[in-house]
Structure 1
């Protein structure tokens, strides 16, 4: 009997527009992102839970608008004149809260991008009122930003996200795996990422790949709170 070899192939996320699955959970947010030439004051804040598809939407917008994507943690080291010569997307923007240098950098970036006639997209897991910003001028600008919310996934979207996450890792699970996971796993995108990553590791070298039995074991091993997988 031949032993199946193990290859730990890194995931390659598919972030094109055609890979973004639209349901009631995210249709409004996508619609607002698509109206980017007409955003009020030229800016939009995309808010949703971790793994909800904010980064995917941001990549779609950057591709269509020609914008540059930057991480909030890098704001203090950026050449503002160069960055603000076009539209910009800042990811995880709430992480600047409490860091005076980062808050001032975001304030200046915000002003320069809009003053130059470009647009600004930001992503966060919550609304500005709970970030704990210290810079009053930045608070006023963030609170005045239009918010597009991505809701927790429905069954259709969670199924699509799981299928995409498996595909990103070049995994083809058995047909009953995704319906089983949707029924019994926590209803969050972050959990979907954890489950698929766990199954990717667990299935390495197994001849049957990702099965329902392996999925049940994964949910038990990950010990999600208040979730019990059946036999």
Structure 2
């Protein structure tokens, strides 16, 4: 079971400023827009989930919309503006789709009228996405725009250990360093592997050690051949 993502288990590294900006938005108790952008695995979705968790305290209504979900339709954005927090993930995934862009533009305007704070996440800066609606691009760029940077190896190691602790197991420095050396460096891929490692160790009733991790990686390589 995936542990809840929060500000307390987000390893900020070079992104401490983004955390401060988001906390200021939540503490202000009024409208405003923060636009987060960065490569895959830099923590965008983690921060959106953390914002939702904080904003929902006391039973307040929050809305999280993952625009990368192909099952969603533009009409689903109707009536979402009056909320304690509105989070839009993968916003650039709908860039170039006029119907979606108009729906997001209207939602932005409604949220502004309702003084509902809004956090938007995307893989590119607001003016770099291929928007067809210029007004939407300018609205998104008018907020606080913050780029999330990748973690260095020390922060990645710490993030892996915090993620492991959230799942209920300990990841030694030795194992964490081995994982970083032999897997892709983006945090999404690393966390996915840790989840698989946890399941495999429980199924095999084995401690999580470097030899066990090596066996798991070797087995995965064999299946790909």
- The TM-score bracket by the shorter chain reads 0.7 to 0.9
Partner of 2:51: 61
Q: Do 1:49 and 1:125's aligned partners in 2 also have CA atoms closer than 8 Å?
A: yes
Cα offsets for 1:171-208 (capped at 9, x unmatched):
43455211322344433212312432442354343243
Partner of 1:170: 168
CA distance in 2, matches of 1:205, 1:17: 31
Q: Do 2:74 and 2:100's aligned partners in 1 also have CA atoms closer than 8 Å?
A: yes
1:103 aligns with 2:98: no
1:115 corresponds to which of 91, 113, 122: 113
Q: For residues 150-161 of structure 1, what are the structure 2 equivalents within 5 Å? A: 150-161=148-159
Q: Do 2:77 and 2:104's aligned partners in 1 also have CA atoms closer than 8 Å?
A: no
Partner of 2:20: 31
Alignment partner of 2:87: what SS?
A: strand
CA distance in 2, matches of 1:89, 1:147: 15
Give the unaligned 5+ runs of structure 1: 1-10, 224-231
Q: For residues 54-203 of structure 1, what are the structure 2 equivalents within 5 Å? A: 54-66=44-56, 67-72=62-67, 73=69, 74=72, 76-78=74-76, 80-81=78-79, 83-86=80-83, 87-173=85-171, 176-203=174-201
TM-score, normalised via structure 1 length:
0.77
Cα displacement (A) at 1:35: 1.7
Cα offsets for 1:78-130 (capped at 9, x unmatched):
2623x111231111111111222211110000111012222111111221233
Partner of 1:19: 9
Q: Which moved more, 1:100-109 or 1:155-164?
A: 155-164
Cα displacement (A) at 1:131: 2.0
CA distance in 1, matches of 2:193, 2:99: 37
Cα displacement (A) at 1:159: 1.4
Alignment partner of 2:46: what SS?
A: helix
Alignment partner of 1:85: what SS?
A: coil
Q: For residues 205-220 of structure 1, what are the structure 2 equivalents within 5 Å? A: 205-219=203-217
TM-score, normalised via structure 2 length:
0.79
CA distance in 2, matches of 1:22, 1:136: 33
Report the count of equivalent residues. 211
Partner of 1:226: none
CA distance in 1, matches of 2:219, 2:17: 36
Partner of 1:49: 39
Q: Do 1:76 and 1:101's aligned partners in 2 also have CA atoms closer than 8 Å?
A: yes
CA distance in 2, matches of 1:64, 1:205: 35
